A = this chain, B = another copy of it.
Amino acid sequence: MRINGRFSDAEREAVYRAIFERRDVRRNFVPTPIPDAVMMRLLTAAHHAGSVGFMQPWDFVVIRNRATKRAVKDLFIDANTKASARYTGAKGALYRGLKLEGIEEAPINLCITCSRRRGGSSVLGRSTVRATDLYSTCCAVQNLWLAARAEGIGVGWVSILDHEKLKRVIGVPKSVTVLAYLCLGYVSKFEDQPDLEAAGWRSRIPVGELIHDESWGNRIQDKRGDGDAHHQGLYKNGGRGKNQAGRRTTGVEGQPAGRSLRHDR
């Protein structure tokens, strides 16, 4: 019996592989169409995220039309022109050299929304923390993102868009929140590192600096000295700990050094 059973080592490794090889993809898209059956698998994977009160607040708008993509690309250009003005000097030059979206190159654009009124006024579990319906929808995005990696499909999340204007372009009702605008397509390759890490925009924080033992501030430092060398023998991440530009930036905001690992108490 498989359901409810253990994962084999190979199955477990495949799950970690999808997690560690998933990338926010803005380039390398190839024009090969995504078959309907594959798209249904991805959307069904998204739909099987957990949701507060089993609310399933998401909807999926699947966009292939070139004119719609062009209109969304124009929204990106507007928003990015404003955003890029925040960066000057060398950082500004670096910013303007980054490729931050693949709206027109990707065969499919996908808008994932959150219908905050779904399920009526009393959604189980949401009365205490109102944003949990948005959080559930993010979990659906991540399911899709990982399933796509396993299918060889790259996914890029375009966050530099005015969502109210986007809603008018694709007809999303005022009461519905746009959560994510994604670009999907088969790719010629997945990069070893996140683009922003490779470009030297920002470094990966050692995971040990982010783990607190029992209460905030009792920070755990991984004894092995490399918090990302986590499952050696299970998986190798070729790109960890370096960026192509060889730059280092501050990881966590200035916080005190951590304590030793005390996970064995």
Contacts and interface: CB of A to CB of B under 8 A. Distances in A.
Nearest to A172: B216
Contacts of A192: 3-4
Contacts of A201: 53-54, 124
A30 interface: no
Nearest to A129: B159
Nearest to A58: B210
A123 to B, nearest CB: 9
Contacts of A217: 171
Nearest to A1: B238
Contacts of A173: 216
A217 to B, nearest CB: 6
Nearest to A40: B230
Interface in A13-57: 14-24, 36-37, 39-41, 43-45, 47-50, 52-56
Interface residues of A, number: 130
How many copies of this chain sit in the oligomeric assembly? 2
A230 B138 contact: no
A103 to B, nearest CB: 14
Given A118-B253, A145-B139, A83 B128 contact: yes
A202 B118 contact: no
A21 B15 CA distance: 12
A228 B196 contact: no
A241 interface: no
A20 to B, nearest CB: 5
Given A4-B192, A210-B47, A151 B12 contact: yes
Interface of A: 2-4, 6-7, 10-12, 14-24, 36-37, 39-41, 43-45, 47-50, 52-56, 58-65, 68, 79, 82-83, 86-87, 95, 98, 100, 113, 115, 117-119, 122, 124-129, 131-132, 134-135, 138-139, 141-143, 145-147, 149-152, 157, 159-163, 170-173, 176, 179-180, 189-192, 194, 196-197, 201-202, 204-205, 207, 210-217, 220, 222, 227-228, 230-231, 234, 236, 238, 251-253, 261, 263-265
14 contacts: A3-B238, A7-B18, A7-B152, A15-B146, A16-B150, A20-B45, A43-B210, A54-B202, A62-B211, A62-B263, A63-B214, A134-B134, A135-B138, A172-B216
> What 10 A-B pairs are tightest by C-beta distance, nearest first?
A138-B138, A142-B142, A11-B14, A14-B14, A44-B230, A54-B196, A36-B263, A15-B150, A171-B216, A139-B142
